[in-house]
Structure 1
């Protein structure tokens, strides 16, 4: 049987890694910045080759050494796109999404898998997304995006993730997104045995109340937060399930324990909510807060496995090929990109389907956060020209290097 190797960047503690392994991929290399997460990877898969450090630093690893692998995968940093953050996108020193796309041009994998937060799917980043699709097309890949809910794949939480899959043209017709599982798992079903592991008599009643899927587990960053289950809105949702989200417990409830709100979850329970289970066994190393952050920032293994299996089938050319579905284009970005010079306001309004001037100006403003946009004020109204992409693409003189090093201790 042919070997299907994967290089995984920003590998974290192994959620995506375990899922891809279950899909049939063998790890040629896993690169991770956080030492605690890398120690967890080594604890579980000591035979894997790993590299510790900034994935974009040539001293950490040499991408050319892995040219032609079956899959390049990664969960690049989320803060540049998260709805709860500033959504700095291309100007955030942690943004590696566009760089990872350029990396595909160096490694030349048969397939590319990148996942991120739902925020990347929002209108704010329509130009950014279109740049990614256009760049991948120029490299010979057919790419598509999809917003996946972890609960659709047996994970007892919502956890929407925006996933990009790109395949070389010969494999792309065989790819289809994985179908959801039929059975939804609730928090109570997932955790009843763990809640009662120390003999707590209330486990069954608690599980009956926790009869829904949970809100998204928030791992947090080194800049903010410790080991608790997220912001105020998430805490209220956990409270409705009988969970005290104000912290993480060291052990399951003891016999005779009573709670005003409900028990706290242990790190082991959080891992179960994140998709680790008897089917997906994994051990985490480090102190409680470090363990919680590793778990909370992970791509749920069952979701990674589902997507990985779809990619594997495509690489093996299984099933019947289907024509590619054309990707939606942002009309304003598209017209600006195709133009050799300036595009007038009237032309852009016409191309965008009759939107009003304030909406056009808003969209131009969003584009200008990720691209240089030149505005020429004319007597007939402004005209616009699209300039360079502001994202880090590997440039040696990019501001990302200095800012990244300055904030290294707080980047996660």
Structure 2
């Protein structure tokens, strides 16, 4: 596939270059370039930050078209990373070994996602795509960036994949990067979504990276008590505040379960229609995935947005609309609402059909989650100065003065 060269401005060229791998639609890339933005509700025009994504690569050309549309200063290279030499990435980004400030990226999570555990090769960690982790390490080893940020699904840390995970950390340690890892809940960083992702961060100088302190708190699947001194997780209703949307083709949930979906209250799922709840007794208890007929609760964050949901997989909006026959039907989330749940700017544009858009956004890193990690790293590397008390404590913790839990 041909390279799509960027057309950076003089001011952009002066910024520190970043290599993006497995870039997708550019969630982490957006965080790189917006690391100087304030928290929440991304502005239409980003603040002037220290980095530019010099080159981005992914196997999906359509996703890179989306990235290029929103980050026109980035050169994109579609293709299989296993067939892409590091030297080519450096050449396209006008870099030499050691020039890159960062390497960022999230190798495809399919081998480690719980949704794939029904396949024996995934349960046993034999999926050949796991080698993509090795390709990420290969680029870090050959490009020698000042630091790297690797993102993946939480399942990468499970015992099932213990061998892969230990090998990954061991190899990065041998390269001198002293990798630190932590599973983060997106809602704890202002994202109105209960999405968990593991981040691995390392520095070329071997100093240990300190993860950012959570900015929000609240209940989740595994959290029943939380820090009451922090603002509550951002709810879906708060995320949609002030947003004007228009109906989209195919947004109503019709077909076999259309009527049942419309009867499910906000915050509930198919379990509403079991003998234990107030709906119809249509399903056996815990016989379906949690997301089946799932409706958003307006007063809580969304569940994880699915990249490839089936026709009855939510979360759907809590409101019902009337179809052409006058019957109430649940509706799917509209694209502007998906962007809000990902904390992407309202003017972010996505290439493709509605299914393409869902896939690209569902696979992306929520902007505020990526930005929290990258801002902490940027502060600790000294590229920006602390602007808040939390920032200042984080910088001091990295130097050993204090420790943030």
Matched, 1:142 2:178: yes
Residues 99, 263 of structure 1: alpha-carbon distance in 2 compared, 3 angstrom cutoff? same
- 1:108 pairs with 136, 144, 152, which one? 144
**1:196-221 Cα deviation digits (max 9, x unpaired):** 667xxxxxx9899611111110103x
- 1:166 pairs with 202, 220, 231, which one? 202
Give the number of equivalent residue pairs.
296
State the partner residue of 1:34.
60
8 A Cα contact 2:125 2:160, kept in partner:
no
State the partner residue of 2:191.
155
1:70-149 to 2 correspondences below 5 Å: 70-86=101-117, 87=122, 91-95=126-130, 96-149=132-185
* Structure 2: distance between partners of 1:286 and 1:309: 31
- What is the aligned-residue RMSD (CA, Å)? 3.3
1:109 is displaced (CA, Å) by 0.8
* Structure 1: distance between partners of 2:59 and 2:141: 22
- 2:359 pairs with 293, 317, 326, which one? 293
Matched, 1:8 2:17: no
- 2:305 pairs with 217, 232, 248, which one? 217
1:186 is displaced (CA, Å) by 0.7
Unaligned runs of 5+ residues in structure 1 are 199-204, 245-252, 325-412
1:194 is displaced (CA, Å) by 3.6
8 A Cα contact 1:118 1:147, kept in partner:
yes
* Structure 1: distance between partners of 2:107 and 2:33: 19
Unaligned runs of 5+ residues in structure 2 are 1-10, 36-48, 217-230, 248-264, 268-295, 386-394
Residues 258, 17 of structure 1: alpha-carbon distance in 2 compared, 3 angstrom cutoff? farther
1:298 is displaced (CA, Å) by 0.5
* Secondary structure of 1:115 counterpart: strand
- 2:234 pairs with 182, 185, 204, which one? 185
8 A Cα contact 2:187 2:233, kept in partner:
yes
Normalising by the residue count of structure 2, what TM-score does the alignment of the two structures yield? 0.65
Residues 91, 309 of structure 1: alpha-carbon distance in 2 compared, 3 angstrom cutoff? same
Greater helix share, structure number: 1
Normalising by the residue count of structure 1, what TM-score does the alignment of the two structures yield? 0.64
8 A Cα contact 1:117 1:161, kept in partner:
yes
1:15 is displaced (CA, Å) by 1.1
Matched, 1:44 2:44: no
- 1:272 pairs with 340, 350, 355, which one? 340
Structure ranking higher on relative contact order (CA contacts 8 Å, 6+ apart): 1
1:177 is displaced (CA, Å) by 2.9
Residues 295, 209 of structure 1: alpha-carbon distance in 2 compared, 3 angstrom cutoff? closer
Structure with bigger gyration radius: 1
* Structure 2: distance between partners of 1:265 and 1:134: 42
8 A Cα contact 2:186 2:193, kept in partner:
yes
8 A Cα contact 1:173 1:323, kept in partner:
no
* Structure 1: distance between partners of 2:86 and 2:141: 19
1:291 is displaced (CA, Å) by 1.3
Residues 258, 135 of structure 1: alpha-carbon distance in 2 compared, 3 angstrom cutoff? farther
8 A Cα contact 1:78 1:117, kept in partner:
yes
**1:273-323 Cα deviation digits (max 9, x unpaired):** 122244xx4111111111111111101011111111111112218733446
* Secondary structure of 2:360 counterpart: helix
